[in-house]
Amino acid sequence: MLIAAAVCPHPPLLVPEVARGASGELDGLRAACDRAVAGLAEAEPDVLVVVGGGAGDRVHGPGAGGDLRSYGVRLRVGPPPAVLPLSLTIGRWLAERGGIRPARLVEVASSARSETCLVHGAGIAAAAPRVALLAMGDGSARRTTAAPGRFDARAVAFDNTVAAALAAADTAALAALDPLLADLLMAGGRAAWQTLAGAAEGAGLSGELLAHEAPYGVGYLTALWR
């Protein structure tokens, strides 16, 4: 049963060694992520499962690691070899920074259908009597003209819809997100958020939105459900 969940973004710049001189720009977001992970630890779960988007559907064990060499830093997260996608690499880094070792790291295909994500989530929640879930995912990368993707006027409204759903622990609203629109808006967190929706269905959790920022034209959302 799901007893707590956190949502965090996964920009590499969350890691101070990657951000270097720009580390201070994400101090508030990093603190919000730390607070969200601390909330998971306080729930005293039997297991922590980290969920993030990737190339396919895979379940990685606690010995799976990643690294950030692609971002100019020889920083290893977990043991070699580096098999985790960015979402799960940053998720593992956040969890271990908060003193929790994930029991499983679940990679969900970024292109997965909503129904598939919901089923994955239900399975995660049923894995143990007390499950905590850390869902990793960024919002739209098309919010401003300086964003990685070309500006799209729908991006802010999409992220605002996600933020409202996270604040209210509204699983139905997350489940209703349009995968096609999310893909067009380069919202990498859609699959992880809908996996969370499947895990939290009927759990009776309440939500708290801890951060909703877009410092680089990309939506970064952080929330805690308990």
Domain ranges of the chain: 2-225
What separation in angstroms does the CA of 210 have from each of 1, 28, 138? 24, 10, 14
Q: Is 105 helix (H, G, I), strand (E, B) or coil?
A: strand
pLDDT reported for residue 20: 79
Confirm if 216 and 29 have CB atoms less than 8 A apart. Answer: no
* Per-10-residue mean pLDDT, the chain, length 226: 98 90 81 98 97 96 95 92 97 97 97 97 97 98 95 98 98 98 98 98 97 96 98
How far is residue 169's CA from residue 26's CA, in Å, rounded to a whole number? 25
Q: Is 114 helix (H, G, I), strand (E, B) or coil?
A: helix
pLDDT at position 6 is 98
Cβ neighbours for 158, distance < 8 A, ≥ 6 positions apart: 139, 140, 181, 182, 185, 187
CATH of domain 2-225: 3.40.830.10
88's CB contacts (< 8 A; 6+ apart) are: 50, 52, 54, 60, 64, 66, 105, 107, 136
**pTM, 2 dp:** 0.96
